[in-house]
Structure 1
């Protein structure tokens, strides 16, 4: 095979939609690949509307609850537990009175059980997380009426 033949093959592949060709003749091997970019679709920007980004809805009720109640938030990422052990009674129930420093739940992180204490005296109004559910840093766990 001569160089002229090879260049002719390359030129013909360039002007076609062929992505790959391989020629084997005795001891001679030739493989040519070409990357064909996808055809661009014309975009009409006049009729395209950006999707609306969902903003968290903060209702007046939620704002009132935040002002009315003290919020206990998760100090770390982990798994929320209401009781010290499976089958044991929960630390607190909705309606229970709690004292400052009283354990209200456990958050397990990296196999360490972290006791979460109330930082106010008051009544547990609402527990916002189900037992065994993952929680994020700063996530609201419960409301305490001071």
Structure 2
């Protein structure tokens, strides 16, 4: 993972001094999007308005045979928790069936505990993140199988 930070740092420096405003790059399960904007107050200053790093394997290339399986992405960034506390049972284990509105996990953001609810009746196929892992907005966190 550290090699990606070094690469990202080098790409940011290179992009700052170029006329390119947007860069998308992906290889070996690493994806990076850089988008820069020129500050109106100081045209010599570059600020990056979007930096998105994704080091998980490309989920689109590993589609399930079952067309009812969908990727559920984090609705906000923060710390991912499988249960309300370390001694409690996880909200969503692989194989568990949930009804629409059941709590799947908690994401802590700015010291607020946000319950993430199931968007529809579903079965948990796979949890794609570890407990207490930091998740970015829109990061894939579950594979869900829709139950009709």
Give the shorter-chain TM-score range: 0.5 to 0.7
What SS is found at the alignment partner of 2:63?
helix
Q: TM-score, normalising length from structure 2?
A: 0.57
Contact 1:98/1:123 (<8 A) preserved: yes
Query: Higher helix fraction: Structure 1 or Structure 2?
Result: 1
> How far, CA to CA, are the matches of 1:105 and 1:61 in structure 2?
26
Query: Higher strand fraction: Structure 1 or Structure 2?
Result: 2
1:132 — aligned with what? 132
Q: TM-score, normalising length from structure 1?
A: 0.57
Contact 1:72/1:118 (<8 A) preserved: no
Unaligned stretches of 5+ residues in structure 1: 1-52
Alignment partner of 1:89 is 2:89: yes
Unaligned stretches of 5+ residues in structure 2: 1-24, 30-56
> How far, CA to CA, are the matches of 1:59 and 1:107 in structure 2?
22
Q: What count of residue pairs does the alignment treat as equivalent? A: 94
* Structure 1 residue 73: Cα displacement: 0.9
> How far, CA to CA, are the matches of 1:78 and 1:66 in structure 2?
30
> How far, CA to CA, are the matches of 1:102 and 1:64 in structure 2?
24
> How far, CA to CA, are the matches of 1:121 and 1:54 in structure 2?
34
CA RMSD of aligned residues (A): 2.3
Alignment partner of 1:104 is 2:104: yes
